[in-house]
Structure 1
């Protein structure tokens, strides 16, 4: 756990563990944390992201192991976005995990898509002359372009100095995690699992989720990064998350 940059807020149990998507940082959960006012929460930069150290090799199970100590055994609801949602499913059997909520998990992958991801993992990180250029690349990679102000100081964790220039903090080798195997993870989960998506999310369809769980949640008017676009709507739109504030 000492290898992780972690944000947190005090409050009542059960705690909420917030896991961001590939390329992002814990800061994307700021709005959701605010909506969970009074509920204890913790949000790490996943390994190889932001201020957290990289792993020698990236697997979903390995990333889950790296953040497992953040589960409060007195009771934790895990909320993960996309990549982080798969990590959350790997935590489903941990002592203390009461439920897992996955938002915007891409559940269907083609061989071509997996090949492109593997190729990205092999690329050397791009260097930029200015911090502003590196921030712009981070926002594109994380799918946050147009959703987060490039001047937001919370982006400090997303970029790092690299010699005389800058680069994004993301370890690109994380793209090599491979096919997530969501169906198998759902079958093995010993706790309730909720799958949700923004209505306009182009990475996963309602039909794909409905083939895996009986009642997927569609969040009206939102896209892939629903937790950033409209955190209040996300919390209000997912009954299992809304109930935490009761």
Structure 2
């Protein structure tokens, strides 16, 4: 886990490992952390995000390998949102993982969607003359528009100044991870897995999840970033 920015807290086991979505940073979990009370938690910025170093090449197994040492062998529940949910599923067989919660994972991809993602991955990072412009881009890419204010920690952690200009910290190459293969990951998982989505999440439908996991959960009134919109509702999904 060299080059990762990692935040930790709490003390009551098992540890909750919190893995954010594409474009975000660990700060998006702050509300869930508060809802967990004294539960032990660890939240990294995934590689190429926030304060963490980029990877030479992005695949879901490579991202999972980069954070695997954060799993406490004495007991960990891996909780991931979207991109981070796929990473959590890759950690399911790691010694110490007791359960996985995947929130808002896009499980159905078209060839056109994968091609568009690959095109984004090939772009150079966009740089802006002002911090405000970079923050606006960061919030838009992370799906946090209207949920996070420009001066909140989840916004501030997603941009960096370089040579007098500003850019989102996200390494665009992370878009090139490819199709996640969620069905195969679920079939191989040796621990209980809960898949959940916000009722209004445009990225994944209830039918998509039910086709893979009959015990999947719809969170009423919420969207793709349900953990930001209603941290308590998401914290309630995390097994003790």
Output the TM-score relative to the length of structure 1.
Answer: 0.96
Give ranges in structure 2 of 5+ residues lacking alignment. none
On the 8 A contact 2:139/2:155 being kept in 1, the answer is no
Give ranges in structure 1 of 5+ residues lacking alignment. none
Structure 1 match to 2:117: 117
Structure 2 match to 1:169: 169
Q: Which moved more, 1:142-151 or 1:153-162?
A: 153-162
CA displacement, residues 9-59 of structure 1 (integer Å, 9 cap, x when unaligned): 121100000000000000000000000011000000000000000000000
SS at match of 1:211: helix
CA displacement, residues 96-150 of structure 1 (integer Å, 9 cap, x when unaligned): 0000000000000000000000000011111101111100100000000000010
Following superposition of structure 1 onto structure 2, how do residues 84-123 of structure 1 map, counting pairs within 5 Å?
84-123=84-123
How far apart, in 2, do the equivalents of 1:25 and 1:39 lie?
20
CA displacement, residues 177-215 of structure 1 (integer Å, 9 cap, x when unaligned): 000000000011000100000000011011110111121
Structure 2 match to 1:199: 199
SS at match of 1:84: helix
Structure 1 match to 2:235: 235
Following superposition of structure 1 onto structure 2, how do residues 21-32 of structure 1 map, counting pairs within 5 Å?
21-32=21-32
Runs of 4+ with deviation above 4 angstroms: none
Task: Tell me by how many angstroms 1:154 deviates.
Answer: 4.3
Figure out how many residues of one structure are paired with residues of the other and give that number: 240
How far apart, in 1, do the equivalents of 2:56 and 2:156 lie?
24
1:142 lines up with 2:145 in the alignment: no
How far apart, in 1, do the equivalents of 2:188 and 2:46 lie?
23
Task: Tell me by how many angstroms 1:232 deviates.
Answer: 1.2
Task: Tell me by how many angstroms 1:156 deviates.
Answer: 2.8
CA displacement, residues 73-114 of structure 1 (integer Å, 9 cap, x when unaligned): 000000000000000000000000000000000000000000
Output the TM-score relative to the length of structure 2.
Answer: 0.98
How far apart, in 2, do the equivalents of 1:126 and 1:61 lie?
27
Structure 1 match to 2:187: 187
